[in-house]
Amino acid sequence: MSMTAVFVQVEDAEIRGFEADPDSVEALFVRQTLPAAGLLSRAAEAQERLQAMGPEELAARFSRLPEPLRQQLESSLARAGVSISSGQDLAKLLGDRLAKRAPSGNAQRETLDLEKAWHGVHYVLAGAAEPGPDLRSQAVLGGVELGEDPEGFSGYGPARYFRAAQVRELSEALGRQDVESAAEARFDPEQMERLEIYPGWEAGEEEKEWVMGALRRLRDFYRSAAAEGRAVVTCLV
């Protein structure tokens, strides 16, 4: 499964709501629309089956899952305070997750998906695998974390946000004339491989232009958000 970095523009006033209910931020990153009636019906049927299962049957089904998946599910359920042996608890959790994935009815938001180029973009901006204090180093992997779950809803870490004032600062930092030339000079596939920059790199102009194109889209996204006075929420998904 590939890992991508997605950015969503939100109104600055919405951040307080996400801080109060970090789970609600997941709805920003759901790419599908509200499930069709058939899918909702199947989800309701699944809830009924879960409620009808006894503890022994539930445990048996979990035990047949591949070990990595079973461990991840057990960890997620434990954080949610849900018992594997309780079909009623599992059914309620399924219903809650579906409700959070329903569109909020707001106007379509401006989004950016850097796809698998996200870590390469971060590296050519920061010169390191992880974010640092410099503004350019924060643009992809920085921001204030939402919630206390280290894995977040995606399993790749919590969603993060930049308030509108920070978005303006990032837009100005990414818009400076030396950014592209410095990023191009920093593109070094061998060094990126040594630092395990995702997803793996080979020398070539095509890969370099792929990263630089993604960097320009990121710059334009922050510029657009700053012009509208918006905040930005981002997450690895």
Please enumerate, as own/partner, the contacts of 226-229 that have beta carbons within 8 Å and a separation of 24 or more.
226/164, 226/167, 226/168, 226/170, 226/171, 226/172, 228/9, 229/12, 229/164
* The token pair that represents 7 in the structure block: 């950015």
Question: Closest Cα to residue 24, out of 161, 156, 126, 120?
Answer: 161
* The token pair that represents 120 in the structure block: 């390469």
> Would you state the pLDDT for residue 202?
87
Peptide bond into 189 cis (omega under 30): no
What is the per-residue pLDDT across 17-32, written as a single tens digit (0 to 9) for each?
A: 999 999 999 999 985 3
Tell me: pLDDT of 213 over 50: yes
Lowest mean pLDDT among 153-157, 195-199, 232-236: 153-157
Structural domain spans, the chain? 5-32+106-236, 37-101
Q: Which CATH class is domain 5-32+106-236?
A: alpha beta
What is the per-residue pLDDT across 116-167, written as a single tens digit (0 to 9) for each?
A: 999 999 999 999 999 999 999 999 999 999 999 999 999 999 999 999 999 9
Q: How far apart are CA 210 and CA 204, in angstroms?
A: 10
Q: How far apart are CA 3 and CA 6, in angstroms?
A: 10
How many H-runs (helices) and E-runs (strands) does the chain carry? 11, 5
Query: From the CA atom positions of the chain, what is the Rg in Å?
Result: 20
Q: How far apart are CA 236 and CA 154, in angstroms?
A: 7
> Would you state the pLDDT for residue 237?
94
When mean pLDDT is compared over 2-16, 50-64, 70-84, the highest value belongs to 2-16
Tell me: pLDDT of 193 over 70: yes
> Would you state the pLDDT for residue 18?
97
- Using the CB atoms, write b or e for 209-232: b if 16+ within 10 Å: ebbbebbebbbebbbebbeeebbb
